[in-house]
Each structure stands twice: as C-alpha cells, then as structure tokens.
Amino acid sequence: MDLIKTYNVCFIGRTGNGKTSLINGLWGTKYLTDPLVACTKELYSVTVLSPVGKKYEGVTIYDTPGIGEFSSDSVYERYYQHAVKKSDCVVLVSTFDRTDAPVQRFLNRIKDYTDKRKSVKFVVALNHIDSKIITDSDGKYEPWDNASNKPTEQCMRNIQERIGIIHQRFDGKFLPFDVVPVCAMRKYGLEELKSKILNTK
C-alpha cells in the first residue's frame, strides 16, 4: 500500500494559549480542551485528507504539550524535537500575555532543527484576541463587536501593538514569520491562518 504524502504542521506555545482549540477549529478535530487545565500531556498527531495543491494528499497536524508547564521543558523535549523535525510549518500560538521569555528560550533551542531546512515555514497565531487582559483606565474596554464578529477598533490597536512587540522579540532570532490575529472560540481569522500555514495565499 502506498504511503500518504502529507504536509506536516506542528503547533507549539505556552500552556493555555489555545493550541488545541485552534487545531479543532482549523481541521474539525475533537481533541479535549479545558480553559483551566492543560489537556495535552502527550504528543498527538492526526492526518486529515485535505489536499494542499498537487504536491500533497493530506495534512498531518502535531499537537504538543505546553511550553513552560514545568520549570524545565526537558520532560517534553523529545516530543518537541520530533514534531519540529517532521514539520513543514511550525505554528507558534501566542496571546496578549507579554511573557515571551519561555518561548524565546524554546525557539533558540529548536533553531538547530529548522535552520538546516530553509523550506520550513514559521507562523505566529495571535490567539484570544477577545481577551480583556488589556483594558483602559476606566475599565470599560470592549474588545469584541458581537454584531460583526470582529475586534473593535480599540482591540485592533492593541493587536497591532502586540504584533510590533512580537516582531521586536523574534525578528532575526528565528525564521521569518507572519503574525495572524485569531480567535479560535469565535472562529475569527481561521481561514487566513490556514492559508498562511498551507501556503495557499
């Protein structure tokens, strides 16, 4: 029997940033999620028969445990190495939380696995953009316009500020990348993110 030729994508990021929710939203999988408890304790993969141009028959998605869940990532290090080495695209899931140090350390460690393969893509998914973690002085900040299901103007300004910070922290230290604002729970930005991951745009 012939093997299925797949385009491989791994999702990495801190615990609670919404990696699994994004995977479920993008590919219709039904992995368990919980906003209060880390559900991904192993390395999971699923192959979806979803053609990517004429080159591939399907997409294999790797869901990894959260970075920084323990004082050291050594517990999961081999999972990360395996997923990154196998992947054509690495998706870093971030949020408005500005604590990027664990991710920066992680990206420095995996550079050796990606720098030798210049074809690897790197995409940053800025998730949970409907969060009120950032607010205004009077506490009336509303991040989401429910009628149009998109961020408010004030939220868009916060998104652009956060994207600028991400570029300051990661430009030149890892692969070139795009940042895509998304909200997995509201199904916002998923098509754009998928097109960036699969090179269909």
In a domain, 1, yes or no: no
Average pLDDT, the chain: 83
Q: How far is it, in rounded angstroms, from Cα 188 to Cα 182?
A: 5
In a domain, 149, yes or no: yes
197 pLDDT higher than 80: yes
pLDDT at 191: 94
Cα dihedral 71, 73, 74, 76 sign: positive
Q: Which two tokens stand for residue 105?
A: 């350390």
Q: Which has the closest alpha carbon to 97: 128, 138, 140, 64?
A: 128
Q: What is the mean pLDDT of residues 168-177?
A: 85
Given a contact cutoff of 8 angstroms between Cβ atoms, the answer to whether 167 and 161 are in contact is: no
> pLDDT tens digits for 79-105?
888 888 889 999 999 998 867 777 887
Given a contact cutoff of 8 angstroms between Cβ atoms, the answer to whether 76 and 64 are in contact is: yes
pLDDT at 35: 54
Q: What percent of the chain has pLDDT over 70?
A: 82
Number of domains in the chain: 1
pLDDT at 110: 74
Q: Looking at residue 45, which CATH number applies to its domain?
A: 3.40.50.300
DSSP state of 176: -
pLDDT at 37: 47
- Angstrom CA distances, 199 to 63, 116, 184, 194, stand at 20, 20, 20, 8
Domain that holds residue 132: 6-198
